[in-house]
Amino acid sequence: MKIFMKGNEAIAESAIRAGCRFYAGYPITPQNEIPEYMALRLREEGGVFVQGESEIAAIYMVMGGASMGTRCMTSSSGLGLSLKSEGLSYLAGSRLPAVVVDVMRGGPAIGSIGPAQQDYNFINKGLGSGGFSCMVLAPSTVQEAADLTGLAFELADRDRNPVILLLDGCIGAMMEDVALPEPKATSAHAEWSLAKSERPFRMFTSFRLEMHLQEQFNCDMAELYNSWEEDVRYEEYQMADAEYVIVAYGVTARVAKTVIGQLREQGHKIGLLRPITLTPFPRAYLGALSPDAIKGVLATEMSVPGQMVVDVKNAVDRRIPVEFYGRSAGMMVDEAEMLQAALKMMQ
């Protein structure tokens, strides 16, 4: 059965069905439907909802819940996530799983409340101190937002590391039909947690006085990050005979599909690569594109200056020309403008 839901609401309900039983957050547009929904539904499922006095307080409440082996989630937007970044570093440094949702708005700083994709570098490159990483999932539909929420909890538990669901405000606010996942029975007491009644003494900490222990931890995490190459997810659209490629994620990829349809009607062979995992990024796919077959790539995103475009250029390694089209500050990419940018690339 399908239900007509907002993206934010679908994420919240899917989190509960995935076994999330603790949520802590703080209000900020455009993700407010998530804490509102959690405040009502978590109580019905025997879970706990807390509106912290700040984003900083909320992320450390999540850290406490995660240490007990409970599936935990928090959500915010860019400037709220910047306040949570220290806590995210503590979660990663303590090997504690959690799901973090970033519903992006225009920036930098307070910026605007309109949808944007301007947190790309922040979330994928500079999330906090110490060089840690989180897997980043980017949905482009409400259905995919629901599906990736469940996956995020599975990956977080598997790796004992935070996972980030990154979407723009448009996906969070739009309403679409969604088939919600079946409720999943999960144990509230993971083997490694503090909640186990019979266990040896254990303590979660990111402080290691002996430098060789800290370096060993960093080497172990590097090995984990390298293993994520097996988790790369992307969508190919009209790529079988493509001579040109648009690279886009989130709602921008939806506009790109419309543009590709129009260009195909004009006889142009053009396709789409849509990254679903932004970390790990589908570099190998782009790196394997042959300059004998692909004449040009257009990277498009709701960010000016472009951010994802740098990863696209690095992946193709100057073998194929890469062009850029973007909007920012809450301005949606425009179908007609993207079409013109694609035609310019092909010329």
Q: What angle do CA 71, 76, 78 make, to 5 degrees?
A: 135
Task: Say yes or no: 98 and 151 in one domain.
Answer: yes
pLDDT average, residue stretch 237-254: 98
* Digit-coded pLDDT (tens) for 120-174: 999 999 898 899 999 999 999 999 999 999 999 999 999 999 999 999 999 999 9
Give me the pLDDT at residue 1, please.
Answer: 81
Task: Say yes or no: 69 and 189 in one domain.
Answer: yes
Domain count of the chain?
2
Q: Provide the residue range defining the domain that includes 305.
A: 235-346
d(Cα 188, Cα 19) in Å, to the nearest integer? 9
CATH of the domain at 260: 3.40.50.920
Task: Say yes or no: 314 and 219 in one domain.
Answer: no
Give me the pLDDT at residue 336, please.
Answer: 98
CB 197 within 8 A of CB 55: no
Task: Say yes or no: 226 and 250 in one domain.
Answer: no
Give me the pLDDT at residue 204, please.
Answer: 83
Q: Is 311 in a helix, a strand, or coil?
A: helix
Task: Say yes or no: 158 and 258 in one domain.
Answer: no
Task: Say yes or no: 208 and 305 in one domain.
Answer: no
* Side chain identity, residue 1: M
Task: Say yes or no: 218 and 320 in one domain.
Answer: no
Give me the pLDDT at residue 187, please.
Answer: 60
Cα dist from 241 to 38, 89, 230, 272, whole Å: 45, 44, 26, 11
Task: Evaluate the CA torsion angle 235, 345, 312, 278 in order and state its sign.
Answer: negative
> Is 90 exceeded by the pLDDT of residue 209?
no
What pTM was computed for the model?
A: 0.96
pLDDT average, residue stretch 31-58: 96
Q: Is 324 in a helix, a strand, or coil?
A: strand
* Domain final residue, candidates 199, 230, 261: 230
